[in-house]
Amino acid sequence: MGIGDYSLLIGTIIVLIIMFQPRLINSANWRATVTPLASIIGSGFLVSGPILAHIAGRWAVLAMFLLCAIGYLYGSVMRHNILYVEPILQKNTDKEVVIIERFSELALILSYFISIAFYLTLFSAFLLRSFNIVDEIWIKIITSFMLVSLAILGYWRGLNILEKIEEYSVGFKLAVIFGLCLALIILSLQQMVGGEFFWPELERMVGWEELQILLGLIILVQGFETSRYLGHSYDAKTRVRTMRHAQYLSTIIYVLFILLATRYFTGELPKEGGETEIINLLKPIGILLMPMLILAAMASQLSAAVADMNGSGGLLSETSRGKIPTNWGYAIAAIIALLIIWLANIYQIITFASKAFILYYGLQSLQAVRAIYKGYSGKGSEKGSRERKVKIFLYYFAIILSLMVVIFASPANV
């Protein structure tokens, strides 16, 4: 084992010890922060580097920062709606607010269907990678088996029995990410001292095609909206504050990781196995990288898939006013996810999921603009008036951006 292995191991162990401290586990603020944080950096952390290097070359870190900025814009929309739209929904005094929300929920259900396919495809890819198998057909077969198994379990017993997975997977995933960043920092410093540090010549002519691919990567920073649906556990101010903290932390993690890892990127995506390419690229770190990344990936993707299947089943039941039972919702989610898996590759699934989530964010942006015009957020002082104008401008831009993503976003070509 080399210095990269020791750094990865020590960093992971330190964060694991911190993460499972009773004081932290029992902290309401931390629990409300870690739920959206884990969703934001879950799958995106595994696939973002190779794809961004493919479209932006050495400027992958700037592309990542742009995605995080877009995510923060839509996070602002969600925080506004938590404070000012939720009370109207609870009172049920504005029919148009309710109608927009119902369409938003339908878009979110569609997003869940696609993201379930995405998460389980990644789970299968990393599982097979542990046996050095890189084969798209086998990935689809394993993913199909996992989907059918979850649907059967959900139909007969419910998926709540699997919720414990998330508690442990979140801590392990964040610990591995910290350990990986620490290893990259130590190796970079070591090579700087030895005069061996270099920055890769990954020149890319970034044009309209690359921008279309970037627009199709919104799912990499998606996940902050989970705070919107934690109202049964936390008050509005807590969810707004902790969602903002989660987005700050995820931006720091993403940008730091891409910055540190860029010199290992080749800029090329393989025709097969691109979803696990991060393992090949970061092999110089050491022998522990592969097993730890595979374990973290499998745990996090399974828990994410279970969470989204649970969410889709519950939302289907709610929006149908109980006409579709939750257990039948699991079956519907599995059937649609199966169709997506067999009709699309991983990059197409990423783009489909991004379009579905951005449609949801666009509807939420429309909800936010309407709430401002209706005066639900108050008018206030001159300063408040300026803030109101800025919000209207930004949220209109968010609506236009969502339309651009739905219309123009395209998958990475390999």
Per-residue pLDDT for 164 more than 60? yes
The model's confidence at residue 205, banded by pLDDT at 50, 70 and 90, is low
> Is residue 83 over pLDDT 60?
yes
Considering the domain 3-408 in this protein, what is its CATH number?
1.20.1740.10
Beta-carbon contacts of residue 23 (< 8 Å; ≥ 6 apart):
none
Cα gap 370→376, rounded to integer Å? 9
**Res 384: pLDDT:** 60
Q: Is the pTM of this model over 0.85?
A: yes
For residue 144, the model assigns a pLDDT of 95
**Cα gap 230→208, rounded to integer Å:** 38
> In this structure, are residues 43 and 301 in contact, taking their beta carbons and an 8 Å threshold?
yes
pLDDT in the model for residue 398: 96
Q: 403 pLDDT exceeds 90?
A: yes
Mean pLDDT of 355-381: 86
Per-residue model confidence (pLDDT) at position 78: 95
Give Cα separations from 369 to 213, 240, 362, 376, 397 (angstroms).
28, 18, 11, 10, 11
pLDDT in tens, 367-376: 999 999 888 7
Task: Read off the pLDDT band of 362 (50, 70, 90).
Answer: very high
Residue showing tokens 């080399």: 2
**Banded pLDDT at 202 (limits 50, 70, 90):** low
User: Mean pLDDT across the chain, nearest whole number?
Assistant: 87
For the cut 50, the answer to whether the pLDDT of residue 381 exceeds it is no
The CA distance from 192 to 199, in Å, is 11
pLDDT at residue 73 above 70?
yes
In terms of pLDDT, which residue wins out, 73 or 131? Answer: 73
Region 200-218: mean pLDDT is 79
First to last CA, the chain: 34
> What are 332-341's pLDDT values in tens digits?
999 999 999 9
Task: For residue 236, give the nearest of 98, 380, 87 by alpha carbon.
Answer: 87
- pLDDT band of residue 163 (cuts 50, 70, 90) is low
- What are the strands, taking DSSP E only, across 164-295? none
Return d(Cα 137, Cα 134) in angstroms, integer: 9
Top-confidence range, 103-107, 169-173, 259-263? 103-107
User: Which tens digits make up the pLDDT trace of 222-235?
Assistant: 888 888 888 888 89
CA angle 282, 288, 291 (to 5 degrees): 90
pLDDT above 90 coverage of the chain, percent: 45
Q: What count of residues does the chain have? A: 414
Question: Which of the residue ranges 23-32, 257-266, 362-371 has the most confident prediction, judged by mean pLDDT?
Answer: 362-371
What are the start-end ranges of the H helices in 262-288?
277-281
pLDDT given for residue 139 in this prediction = 94
Residues 6+ apart with CB under 8 A from 171: 15, 16, 19, 20
Q: Are 8 and 187 in contact (CB under 8 A)?
A: no
Q: Are 399 and 366 in contact (CB under 8 A)?
A: yes
What is the structure's pLDDT at 382?
44
Answer for the pair 174, 15: CB distance below 8 angstroms, yes or no: yes
pLDDT at 377 over 80: no
- Flag whether pLDDT at 241 surpasses 60: yes
The per-residue pLDDT for 304 is: 81
For residues 178-191, give the mean pLDDT: 90
Is pLDDT of 380 > 60? Answer: no
pLDDT per residue as tens digits for the range 286-310: 999 999 989 888 888 888 888 788 8
